Amino acid sequence: MRSKVIVSLLFLVATFCLGFSNVYADDIDTTTIYAEKCALCHGGDGKGTSTGIDFGTKDFTDKEWQASRTDDEFVNSITHGNPENDNYIPFGDMLSEDEIKAMVPHVRAFAH
């Protein structure tokens, strides 16, 4: 009986930890995600590589452009790509919702 209680307690703790790590985006390594999945087109400096610019990337360091786009638009674009631009790959299948949300402040930081 007692061991059952301990097992259920451990289970609760484990579930809590898992849930916790999903809620707090701080655990997500946006630098690695950016380097592995985004820098190819957007460049380490956010301005866009020559390949990226050919595809139609915007300059992430451009404050005016940043101000013209909302966080929701960013999340939507990263998740679904741009239906009018085939060169923009949707990341909805490659990154979790939390990872995509965590990329928004990372992209914003280029214009700071």
Residue numbers at the binding site for ligand HEC (CB under 6 A): 33, 37-38, 40-42, 52, 55-58, 69, 73-74, 77-78, 82, 85, 87-89, 91, 103, 107
Measured from the CB atom, is 26 or 86 closer to ligand HEC?
Answer: 86
Measured from the CB atom, is 3 or 32 closer to ligand HEC?
Answer: 32
Helix (H) or strand (E) holding 68, with range, is helix 63-68
Query: d(Cα 56, Cα 37) in Å, to the nearest integer?
Result: 17
Minimum separation from the CB atom of position 110 to ligand HEC (A): 10
Minimum separation from the CB atom of position 56 to ligand HEC (A): 4
Residues 6+ apart with CB under 8 A from 100: 75, 78, 79, 91, 92
Terminal Cα distance for the chain, rounded: 58
Measured from the CB atom, is 26 or 93 closer to ligand HEC?
Answer: 93
Measured from the CB atom, is 7 or 27 closer to ligand HEC?
Answer: 27
The conformational region for residue 23 under phi > 0 = left, psi -120 to 50 = alpha, else beta, is: alpha
Minimum separation from the CB atom of position 112 to ligand HEC (A): 15
